Amino acid sequence: MHHQWLLLAACFWVIFMFMVASKFITLTFKDPDAYSVKQEFLLLTAMPDTGKLQGEKQFPEELKPTGKMLSDRQLVQPLVYMERLELIRNVCRDEALKNLSHTAVSKFVLDRIFVCDKHKILFCQTPKVGNTQWKKVLIVLNGAFPSIEEIPENVVHDHEKNGLPRLSSFSNAEIQKRLKTYFKFFIVRDPFERLISAFKDKFVHNPRFEPWYRHEIAPGIIRKYRRNRTETRGIQFEDFVRYLGDPNHRWLDLQFGDHIIHWVTYVELCAPCEITYSVIGHHETLEDDAPYILREAGIDHLVSYPTIPPGITVYNRTKVERYFLGISKRDIRRLYARFQGDFKLFGYQKPDFLLN
């Protein structure tokens, strides 16, 4: 009888413990995703600032412990820019892409980089990616004009009047000092869409009245690359693609001089494998990237990026397909072969819909 009571008590104890365990499991794993997120927030916000220890992982400024709950946007944003820089480092180490990702930091590159000494900023110009607006930001920061709205359009690209020194204008020692210590950035967009923009701006619309593109550069491209010699129309996008994809394009580039900045690769313009940039902005996400760049450069309280018209930065696949319609796969593949470094370095998807 005594043993029966002991056995019954043991059964009740097991049942009781099972109920407690079940309750604990239910409370703990009811929402595993939410719990995981809360744990991440706790790690980021509740960890005391004990100084930088050897081997300690350093968080970006936005992720440093503050005692405040961080928003999803604040947590995600810095990671995007860190991932872009990490991608560049990885591609730069890829020996198979070395000829497409590396270039000398020549005078041509240094001429593309504008300097704001007052706020220790370097901006590498990548035409057809909204650079006019960034120039306006720097012009205001340099003190040439009190606000962006007051800068005349004809002054922005006049380097005698806009107050924007180029990095090439400094001594070698001064150049190296600025490259090592200044905040450095540039903006990219889908490489093929940028070429379409360059073609339209320089050979079709030409809004700033630069007649040399139509009257000097276009005839030079047509003479060498037009297949139908009886065709009398002005330069077509097909001619332009054939010129850019030609492995021997450089002899024409030398004739065209600095005008080629509107269609050469980002690698040739800004040397991203040789210069360690602080931030790479993307035209497609400029609404987020512009404010982030201003904050990281420490100038967001001094100037704002001009208003971005709705939809203007969105990648337009339909437009790309329309411009490349009728151009041979061979010519498109040769074009991609030249710009492959840009696609890889900045994470743009290979345009298989054009290549295959």
Return the pLDDT at 211.
87
With a CB cutoff of 8 Å and minimum separation 6, the contacts of 188 are: 126, 129, 266, 280, 281, 282, 283, 342, 346
Answer yes or no: is 25 within a domain: no
Answer yes or no: is 201 within a domain: yes
pLDDT tens for the chain, 356 residues long, are 555 555 555 555 555 555 544 443 333 333 333 323 333 333 333 333 333 333 333 434 433 333 334 445 555 568 999 999 999 999 999 999 999 999 999 999 999 999 999 999 999 999 999 999 999 999 999 998 999 999 998 899 888 888 899 999 999 999 999 999 999 999 999 999 999 999 999 999 876 778 899 889 999 999 999 988 777 889 999 999 999 999 999 999 999 999 999 999 999 999 999 999 999 999 999 999 999 999 999 999 999 999 999 889 999 999 999 999 999 999 999 999 999 999 999 999 999 999 99
With a CB cutoff of 8 Å and minimum separation 6, the contacts of 26 are: none
Nearest to 313 by CA among 282, 291, 339, 343: 282
Angle subtended at Cα 149 by Cα 148 and Cα 155, rounded to the nearest 5 degrees: 70
Q: 116 - beta bridge partners?
A: 121
Answer yes or no: is 32 within a domain: no
Answer yes or no: is 62 within a domain: no
Answer yes or no: is 168 within a domain: yes
Return the pLDDT at 30.
35
Number of domains in the chain: 1
> What is the value of pTM for the model shown?
0.78
Return the pLDDT at 4.
54
With a CB cutoff of 8 Å and minimum separation 6, the contacts of 316 are: 193
Angle subtended at Cα 194 by Cα 139 and Cα 270, rounded to the nearest 5 degrees: 55
Answer yes or no: is 93 within a domain: yes
Q: Specify the amino acid at residue 3.
A: H
Return the pLDDT at 218.
95
CA distance 252 to 355: 26
Return the pLDDT at 38.
32
- Domain of 312? 72-354
Answer yes or no: is 67 within a domain: no
CA distance 77 to 75: 6
Angle subtended at Cα 309 by Cα 306 and Cα 315, rounded to the nearest 5 degrees: 115
Answer yes or no: is 56 within a domain: no
